[in-house]
Amino acid sequence: MISLNYRDSRPIYEQLEEKLRRLILSGALPEGEKLPSVRELAGQLAINPNTIQRAYRELEQKGFIYSIPGKGSFAGKLSGVDESRRRELKEKLLAAYTELLQLGEDPAGLQTLLKEASIHD
């Protein structure tokens, strides 16, 4: 279900958070489905339970999952997540665009790049 890349420069909890977020967004983890317990997933991935806990906490703060004490963590509703995620991604896109312009990138070339990306969807 989840594989981690130990050569990736990102921390393990960020990789795990991204993988779980993608599973939720793709529908592979449908709304309300129980996620593996922290101990269970730590055992499967052979990593520290604190790493799993941190990824779960980040996902819960962003609205991708919710926890019920004594029951576990579950995939959340995407309705509220969608808008906040869109806003977050737009901010990142704007920051990247601005930085590319500051590095001397041609605005027309960036627009072409975005148009090509939308064609491939």
Q: How do residues 46-63 score in pLDDT, each as one tens digit?
A: 999 999 999 999 999 988
69 and 107 assigned to the same domain: no
Among 8-12, 42-46, 90-94, the range scoring the smallest mean pLDDT is: 90-94
60 and 99 assigned to the same domain: no
The C-alpha torsion from 43 through 44 and 49 to 50, rounded to 10°, is 160
Please give the residue that has the higher pLDDT: either 83 or 89.
89
How high is the pLDDT of residue 82?
A: 65
89 and 71 assigned to the same domain: no
How high is the pLDDT of residue 113?
A: 86
Can you give the three-state secondary structure of 78-90, one letter per residue?
Answer: CHHHHHHHHHHHH
How high is the pLDDT of residue 80?
A: 61
64 and 87 assigned to the same domain: no
* Residue for token pair 């995407």: 78
* Residue for token pair 């592979």: 28
What's the domain range around 25? Answer: 12-77
pLDDT tens digits along 77-88: 877 666 777 788
From its phi and psi, is residue 92 left (phi > 0), alpha (psi between -120 and 50) or beta?
alpha
Token pair, residue 89, equals: 């991604």
70 and 89 assigned to the same domain: no
pTM, entire model: 0.69
Strands (E), the chain: 65-68, 72-75
Asked if the structure places residue 7 within a domain, the reply is no
Count of domains observed in the chain? 2
Asked if the structure places residue 4 within a domain, the reply is no
pLDDT tens digits along 1-22: 688 988 999 999 999 999 999 9
22 and 63 assigned to the same domain: yes
113 and 88 assigned to the same domain: yes
73 and 90 assigned to the same domain: no
CA distances from 9 to 1, 6, 12 (A): 21, 8, 9
